[in-house]
Amino acid sequence: MLAMNCFKAGTLEDCIRQQAIELGFDHCRFTHARTPGTWPSYRSWVDAGMHGKMEYLARHSAKKADLSTVLPQVKSVITLAVSYFPGDSGVDEIGEMPVGAKGTVARYARYEDYHDVLKPALVRLVETIQSMVGPDENHLYYMDTGPIMERDLAQRSGLGFVGKHTNVISRDLGNWFFLGEILTTLDLKPDEPEKNRCGTCTRCLHACPTDAILEPFKLDARRCISYLTIELKGSIPEDLRSSIGDRIFGCDDCLAVCPWNRFAREGNLMHSARRDDLKRPDLLALLELDDEQFKKSFQGTPMMRSKRRGLLRNVCVALGNVGDEQALPALEKAKCEPEPLIAEHAQWAIDQILKRHTSSESQ
């Protein structure tokens, strides 16, 4: 009955879009499954080593070029957007300095893990499509979990355009949204691609603390703070540590300065999953966490990805940048950690604080 009522509203594409919006997705668009024209540039980017230690990007590059290796006989891709803009009450200004020894967490991570929050709606949409078209068609869903070029597919479907910071920008969601995809053997009518609308703006390039955006549309992940604090599992290069500032999980600076954010709006699916306690966590309290406390504090959030060793590594760097002498006892304790990664960065932080203290005394 659901499918029959839906089909009365128009085409299969109209019906799928209607169901997606009713399930809480903010946008739903369609594109074909052929190789994105940007794939050669992506392959060159990987060959240049700019993906850093994210070896899965190299392993999966062939599949990104041919989606039929992911889903045989795939014909179309349904692209979906989910806003994580928190509304005016949850926005912080770029460059805003926290009071005391506080850390900054990327906006997307101030929620329960979006994979867990959005999966039920994604599964439900696939089930609904299956009920409409019958068992002869196959579908496969992803939410940044599979070997597909989702940003390029999003632009080709008209969901948004890839900005000079290499993230997708929507004209009515700004920069603050997640992407999801459904690969399908259905032959759906493609929507018109979105054209790039950055114009002459270069705010994102100038905002990057580590100059990771080498030129428009070219990011060196090895310098990106999101990579350094999340994806990188070893030591953070010393020459980049001071630029990390108080950021302990990700970085939003290039996104935050984008003028398209004036159109951002709060979505439905992520609203109830907000974790406002993660906006400005206390660095010294984080440094005291043992394994059990870490899991209790961050279970079910994106911050679990860094593991305790990675998060405390980041906390030490942040304290080295914004901490004062009051942080020294906790850092001295962290320096004796059996985990070498934490101990190394704790020593660096101690050296930075003492250097600042000595400098201020000599003035």
Q: Is 85 helix (H, G, I), strand (E, B) or coil?
A: coil
> Any residues with CB less than 8 A from the CB of 5 and at least 6 apart, and which?
none
Q: Among residues 283, 176, 312, 230, which one has the least CA distance to residue 52?
A: 230
Beta bridge pairs of residue 27? 81
CA distance 160 to 31: 13
Beta bridge pairs of residue 169? 161
> Any residues with CB less than 8 A from the CB of 86 and at least 6 apart, and which?
107, 110, 266, 274
Which of the following is catalytic: 14, 47, 116, 144? 144
The question of whether 144 is a catalytic residue gets the answer: yes
Buried b (16+ CB within 10 A) or exposed e, 76-87: bbbbbbbbbbbe
Task: Output the six-digit token pair for 344.
Answer: 């190394």
Number of H helices, E strands in the chain: 16, 10
Identify the burial level of 142 via C-beta atoms within 10 angstroms of its C-beta, where 0-12 means exposed, 13-18 middle and 19 or more buried.
middle
Give me the active site residues, please.
Answer: 144
